[in-house]
Each structure stands twice: as C-alpha cells, then as structure tokens.
Amino acid sequence: MQPDFWNDKRPAGVLSEVDLRAYKSVVEVFERSCKKYADRPAFSNMGVTISYAELDRHSAAFAAYLQQHTELKPGDRIAVQMPNLIQYPIAVFGAIRAGLIVVNTNPLYTPREMRHQFKDSGARALVYLNLFGKNVQEVLPDTEIEYLIEVKMGDMQSAAKGWLINTVVDKIKKMVPEYHLPQAVSFKRVLKLGRGDHLQRVQLDLEDIAVLQYTGGTTGSPKGAMLTHGNLVANMQQVYACMLQHGPDGLPIFKQGSEIMVAPLPLYHIYAFTVNCMCMMVSGNHNLLITNPRDIGGFIKELKKWRFSAMIGLNTLFVALMEHPEFKTLDFSTLRLTNSGGTALVKSTAERWKKLTGCPIVEGYGLTETSPVATANPYGDQGRLGTVGIPLPGTLAKIIDDEDAELPIGERGELCLKGPQIMLGYWHRPDATAEVLDAEGWLKTGDIAVIDTDGFISIVDRKKDLIIVSGFNVYPNEIEDVIMRHPKVANCAVIGIPDERSGEAVKLFVVPREPGLTCEELKAYCKENFTGYKIPKQIVLRESLPMTPVGKILRRELRDIA
C-alpha cells in the first residue's frame, strides 16, 4: 500500500509524516525536554516525585560515574534489571548519555535466562535490584560482567524513610535472599560519586544502537533486536503525532506537559519503554510508575491519590482492575486515553471498561522489532474495536502470500511492515535477520492479517507458533528445549491455549521416559527454569505425540485436541 492510501484516513490533527531529522539521538530529545519542562514532574513512584531537571541531574551523575570510575567505552553493553522504580529511567538515560547500549532485562528471569542474555549481549555492566542479588551471584562467573551497580527500593527516599523501607523489605518481609557480591557499588554511591564529575558529551547519531531488546525466536533462544537511536526517536515522534489528534473542540486531546500517565507495565518491556520512558518525555508529561501491578489493591490505592488522564495496559490488567470492588470508586473524570497493546484486546473487556470509566480503550499493534508501535487506532469513538488501527505516520503495511506476492485489500496473509522504527537487525544473527528483513526494509511479522477498504488492520491468526501471555512472547521451542533436559522426559510439545485472564496460556504435553513422572514434578522443574509467564498452566502426560512421517511434531493437531 502507498502512504497516500492511509494519509487521508488519519483523524484531524494527526500528522502524515514526522521529521526524522529533528533530533540527532535519544540523548538530544532527553536533554531538550529536560530543559524545556525543567520544573514539571517527570516520574512519581512510592511517594517520591522527581522533576525533569532532577532527572537530568541524576542521570548526568550516573553517566559521569560510568565515564570516570569504570573503563566502559561507548558501544559497551550495560544490562538493567529492575521493576518500575525511579532508579530505572535514571540508570537508562544515564547509560545512554554515556554512549552505552542498554540491555533491558526482566527482573523475574531465572538464572538460566539471565545467563543466556548476558552472555549473548556481552554485557560488561549490570544495574540490578538487590532482591535479585542471589541470581546475579550465581550467573556472574559465566558472563563478561565486570561492574555491578546495586539498587535498593528506598534509594530515592529521604535517608530515614529509605532505611526503613530497605529494612522492612530485607528483615521483615524477607524478600532479599542471602548473597555475596562485595564488588557491587550502591546506586546511591554512584550518584554521589558522579555528581562532582563533569559529564563528557558522547558523539551519537541516529545510526548508533541505543538498546538491545531481547525477543524470543522460532528457534528457541531469545535474540537481541538492535534498536538504534533513529528507531526510538522515530517511534516516539510517530506515537506523539497520533496524540495530536483533535477532540470535538478542535484542540489536541493530549496536552503537552499537563498529562498524568499511569505506567503499570514494566519499563523493561519495549511497549512501556517507548511510551512511558520515551514518548512522555518528548511531550513533557508525568509518569506514575507502578512497581507491583499484581497487587491490584495497592495499585488502586495509589490511583486514588492522582487525577490521572491516561493509562497504558493490556487485557489481563484491565480485567484484574475491573474485578476489584474498589475500582469503581475511583474518579475517572480526567481519564481521556486508555491504550491497549502487547496482546489481543478482548471485545467484552473493552466494552466493560468504557461502561465503568467512560473512556474507550484503543488498541494498537507492534513488535519488539518495530520499537515497538507500528499501528494504532484513533482515539475516542473514531477507533474500531476488533482492529489494531492504521499504520503510524511514516509507516507502510502490506499483506503477502506464501510466495511473498502482495495481496489485494480484504485478502488475508502475512502482515509486512516498513518504516523508520524497524530494527537494524538481530545482534550477531545475520541469518535470523535475513529471515525477517528483506533488502527493501520490509519486516515479515509472522502475523496473519487483513487490511479493509478503510485501511484498518485486523490480526486474525499467527503464522508462527508464538504464544503471547499477558503481552509477553513465549516460544514453544525454548520451553521444549528445557523440558527435554529432564531425565524422565522422552518427548514433549508446547502450544498456546486461550485464557480469559492472560489472553493465552502455555499448555505442555509430555511423553514420559519412565513411569512415575508426575505433573507436580514437571511443574516444580518449570518453576526452577522459567519466569512466571512461561510456566505451563496445564500439563498433560501422554503415551505419544502426533507427528509427520519425518518425525516433526504436529502442534496444530495438539491445538485441535486442546
């Protein structure tokens, strides 16, 4: 499809193109925004709010520490592993200002998963929350990590309150397993030492890699999508261009510097990373970070303190909030934007949300490889439930058949995307890159979709066997590879099954090598090796698995049985 096909379909106020040369790097966007919105709040979390000026100052100290007190050089990788805390944006923007490449790491990863990501990325430094110190100690000898920076929950609080929070977390709630990492430098000390040092400007341009964002592959082992400064700058501008949509009064729905955006999704996930860390920055708005969104009661208690105007989330979270009796007591009078992404939005969830809050949920679509937002629905009543909207400004979409020929409007086939937000490729994986990116820059998404006559895109199926659990990618091969290491397992297969809460759940079929293997034993083994969303919700023991004549397991038949 040509750009003109979508340009006349955009709502009033939404730009058709963005100026890709407006900024030279993520750092330039950050520094300009911090200066422009200096006195405005940037992030709030656990009772602490920091302004854009303070975010600028803290991240400069973090960057200066990396430059003056380590031997890290621009282009080196630094892993960041923590939940939504104010320390996260400080560390990430500090690392990027020092010219380092950020490796976003899920704090709930098992040692096996951490080991793969740290080794594959060649990370030389790690910023981690002390709750995960035991795992860090376990994997450290197998990695190239030389520098450790340790975060504690109370770091950004006053001295007395910080000590109290850290003591409660450690001694009373016993959330910090014993570990020994004497070489680690505390986050507070890093900021203190870096404060007196002069931050040296690093020459960065749009082609430089800013982030390695790991995503699973059909081959099982997660791959690092290389997202450049240009990718991230483009995507934040594209998303912001959509936020300029006019309301009924002819003015933009989204006001610069006056919105409070609720951020319950983890910032280490590319969706929240771009929307909350990047896009809110360019518009000078205020992010309310939710550290533990699974504590729905605590989440709602926090929401009661704010006149929030926007929220991003996914189907699982919206359902959990609405099921809590306190949710309906919240004041929704200022809520104008609710965005859903990461996993398919269920129609009944969207209808219920609008009835309860008065605010429609609009759904978008993207991938780690697209930085991540590729398509979005218009806000308000112009959105179309059941679709993922139209491509962002500057983004092209087409549908192809199995021979890569473009299909006409209304035909279903594989969705392909092209735009400035498409990744550079997979880290050290030219073979995997060539499978999804062609010479013209078209990315094969692996999703089966349809484009209608109005340009709206509907995702109807998945070409790959990818399972999406609460917005997180689960690849059957990764699960199967680990399960096959169990001495009592002869064969296994993993499929995704529909799940009301998480969109999809993992179902595991196992052929035992010997009698006596139990589902409980397999469940315990999975808990040791996988983060929560990858753990099979259902385990079935079978005598055999359906296979092709050459021995390939027929997952489709298993799905039909399930």
What is the per-residue pLDDT for 119? 98
Q: Considering the domain boundaries, does residue 404 fall inside one?
A: yes
Claim to verify: residue 161 and residue 99 sit in the same structural domain:
yes
What is the per-residue pLDDT for 253? 87
Single-letter amino acid code for the residue at 359: C
The model's pTM: 0.89
Domain with residue 386: its CATH number is 3.40.50.12780
Claim to verify: residue 105 and residue 237 sit in the same structural domain:
no
State residue 85 phi and psi, 5-degree precision. Answer: -130, 160
Residue in 244, 266, 229, 328 with CA at minimum distance from that of residue 472: 266
Residue in 202, 236, 226 with CA at minimum distance from that of residue 23: 236
Convert the pLDDT of each residue in 313-323 to its tens digit: 988 899 899 99
What is the per-residue pLDDT for 126? 98
Claim to verify: residue 34 and residue 6 sit in the same structural domain:
no
What is the per-residue pLDDT for 216? 61
Q: Which domain holds residue 103?
A: 26-41+49-204
Claim to verify: residue 257 and residue 378 sit in the same structural domain:
yes
Q: Would you list the DSSP string of 493-537? A: EEEEEEETTTEEEEEEEEEESSTT--HHHHHHHHHHHS-GGGS-S
Could you tell me the two tokens for 203? 């020459």
Sequence-distant (6+) residues with CB within 8 A of 322 are 349, 352, 353, 356
> Could you tell me if 508 and 492 are in contact, meaning their C-beta atoms sit under 8 angstroms apart?
yes
Q: Considering the domain boundaries, does residue 227 fall inside one?
A: no
What is the per-residue pLDDT for 3? 66
Can you tell me the distance from the alpha carbon of 379 to that of 251, in angstroms, rounded to the nearest whole number?
A: 13
Count: domains in the chain: 3
Residue in 348, 413, 420 with CA at minimum distance from that of residue 391: 420
What is the per-residue pLDDT for 319? 87
> Could you tell me if 289 and 44 are in contact, meaning their C-beta atoms sit under 8 angstroms apart?
yes
Claim to verify: residue 161 and residue 140 sit in the same structural domain:
yes
Can you tell me the distance from the alpha carbon of 27 to that of 122, in angstroms, rounded to the nearest whole number?
A: 23
What is the per-residue pLDDT for 548? 64
Claim to verify: residue 239 and residue 337 sit in the same structural domain:
yes
Claim to verify: residue 460 and residue 488 sit in the same structural domain:
no
Give me the sign of the Cα torsion angle 66, 69, 73, 79. negative
Domain final position from 464, 491, 514 = 464
Domain with residue 101: its CATH number is 3.40.50.980
- Specify the 3-state DSSP secondary structure of 160: helix
Domain final position from 439, 464, 489 = 464
Give me the sign of the Cα torsion angle 253, 255, 258, 261. positive
Q: Considering the domain boundaries, does residue 224 fall inside one?
A: no
> Could you tell me if 368 and 341 are in contact, meaning their C-beta atoms sit under 8 angstroms apart?
no
Q: Which residues of the chain have pLDDT under 50?
A: 217-219
HSE at residue 360, side-chain half, CA atoms within 13 A, is 13
Widest Cα–Cα separation across the chain: 70
Residue in 426, 335, 417, 413 with CA at minimum distance from that of residue 376: 417
What is the per-residue pLDDT for 348? 83
State residue 24 phi and psi, 5-degree precision. Answer: -90, -15
What is the per-residue pLDDT for 196? 83
What's the Rg (C-alpha) of the chain? 23
Q: Considering the domain boundaries, does residue 159 fall inside one?
A: yes
Q: Considering the domain boundaries, does residue 139 fall inside one?
A: yes
Claim to verify: residue 195 and residue 237 sit in the same structural domain:
no
Q: Considering the domain boundaries, does residue 221 fall inside one?
A: no
Domain with residue 490: its CATH number is 3.30.300.30
Claim to verify: residue 190 and residue 251 sit in the same structural domain:
no
Claim to verify: residue 198 and residue 61 sit in the same structural domain:
yes
Q: Considering the domain boundaries, does residue 138 fall inside one?
A: yes
What is the per-residue pLDDT for 464? 73
